[in-house]
A and B are shown apart, each in its own frame.
Chain A
Amino acid sequence: MNFDSTDIILSLVKIAIVVGALLNVTPIMVWVERRGSALIQDRVGPNRVGPFGFFQSIADALKFILKEDLIPAQASKWLYTIAPMFGLIPALTTIAVVPFGRAFVIPERIVFGHTLFAGGRLFEPIAADVNIGLLLVFALSSMGVYGIVTAGWSSNNKYSLFGGIRASAQMISYELALTLSAVSALMVAGSLRLVDVVQHQTGYFVLFNTIKIPAWNVFSPAMFLSFVIFTVAAFAETNRLPFDFAEADAELVAGYHTEYSSMKFALFFMSEYMAMATISALIVTLFFGGWDIPWYDEPATFFGFLLSAMAFVAKISVMLFVFVWVRWTIPRLKYDLLMKAGWKVFLPLAVLNIVLVAVFIANHWI
């Protein structure tokens, strides 16, 4: 592994792109969520600040910054303070292993007498191309539960504690289904690296020698089941509405963040939406071909990268809208139903799906 300054600068650029995009997800998603819910519930929604209320999020952010930062008297102060960071760090770092565009070659050019990118340099649009790939995602996202549990415990509030207990049980249960359903995508690609997973999906399935369908995993008969399981488990992992037991406002006031206010609360808010964006990116990468544009062969240039990155963002946006749509459509389950579904339905189905995919691979059907 040889690094030079160009590598470091390119890495920093990638990190800046990813983090910048991720930080902007929250204000945009808050707006989408509020306008979307208004649309679904036949209301108007925020429409005062800016066009269509688009700057409402900025006003909200300002409010969060200016509010008083309270720490409950009986709370465990240290843990209470670092709990929001526990939640934020996994949400920020997980996206690092997701490729966000087609790789392209930066041509050699001379600026002020200095040769930059000598001999052309490959730009891999992924912040950390490690060979354990998806395992790193699961490792980091499994740390996300500590933010919620620590917040729930350290607030010294019964509702918070119940939120934390519920979150720990729920996330541990659904992590199994999530991981096992992702395994099938890895089996097909034969690699843990998400770059390879996307590369594997850039071809076509040809039906009756005429119709070309993009070879996305979701269109593959063996993988559709794992897509369904992964999506359901993703909702549970991100604590979104059919499964938002950690904060169930009808039962637990606000669950694990009942006692939080000001920027600490905003951090939870941000990490929730970032986790949503990350898991959407994962769904897109594993099942919807990542940055692949169907019926179009992206050139290996900057233009091709730009197009593929836009396709990737568009797919994520659709997934994020599905998250909002589901939240305002499906009511909350009962808690025991959630656990029952996790252990008795989704986990066996995920295992079954692995067997199914193995049969397909053994017969060279995919």
Chain B
Amino acid sequence: MINRIIGWVDQRFPITAIIKHEATEYPVAPNLNYWWNFGSLAGVVLVLQIVTGIFLAMHYKADVTLAFDSIQHIMRSVNYGWLIRYIHATGASAFFAVIYIHISRTLYYGSYRGPRELLWWTGLLLLLLVMGAAFMGYLLPWGQMSFWGAQVITNLFGAIPLVGGHIVVLLRGDFSVGDPTLTRFFALHYLIPFIIAGAVVIHLVALHTVKSSNPSGLPIADKDNIPFHPYYTSKDLFGVGVFLIIFCSFVFFVPDAFIEPDNNIPANPMQTPPHIVPEWYFLPFYAILRSIPDKLLGVVGMGLGIVILAALPYLDRSKIPGGSRYRPIFKALFFVFIADAFVLGYVGAHPPEGPMVLIGRIATVIYFGYIVSMPFVSKWEESWLRKRGLPAPVQKYLDEQAAGGTK
């Protein structure tokens, strides 16, 4: 009976072929480590956010006079409303934690390198979309930090020459953040996740065309690949279990860890909090913004902080394959970059006074220095490694490449 139904569908829609192509016969390198779990984990968190978000939207009121109260209504009167809301609020932080680890893995193993440029770019696009969704979602509780965060960030667009003022009004729907801002942010916050879901499909199509990279630094021969299902489905599910233990520990025992105390005070346009801090996942970029003395250049720098990463496949000019496996300088600089991102995050959380200003500027220079110097460093590293003598597998790979090129 089941087979007959599947056969009926298959004649009209290639369901069996899709399952084979994307799962049961989709070839994956056998040596992926647990750092490769974070892509599917990001997908799990996206679903979690969409599902909890839809239930929150059933009880939330996007109106400046009602928004704050409606959150408390959800927390206190809706059945398990506290659970849904805490999952959603913690989920935002979990989403960024997972994505940042996913991106760090891409940088460490050089996964962005050809032929995976489009995979990398769709991934960066996804990061920007998630940031947009998170920023707009943060306004919805209509607390002090919601309001002033939105006020500060929308204000940045005013630095754009000529049209800046118009863009700010367009974003806010008014001259300052108010009811029109709240309603449009709510509408867009509901829309963007579905655009994200669509972009995830594109990201996956690109992935299944070029296949996953792997930690060996060398491409894996086709014959050595193993099917995604059941090997990586079982490995990913174990990863989901570990993730859920950590995630639920936050949701049930320290759910306020990611909620600023100030955001439990209703938004008050007449009273600026002494210290406006964005959520932790924006802090490094906020630090870059504040480290550049010129307002417009600061905004450009903040945007470039992400956009410039798109150029990495072309800036990394080393012929040595892969990422850190056979490239000690590349590896060392990766850790400098990650440490630098943490320093920027620390600076972003503190008022720009005293040593923070200088530390922020140095860290900003290092951040962009890592990227801009990559063409030179990667070339220099390659010639240095060649002089020292390449490991046999790398030499073999390069010889094969050279032979393939002359054929």
- A and B interact: no
- B-to-A contact residues, CB < 8 Å: none
- A-to-B contact residues, CB < 8 Å: none
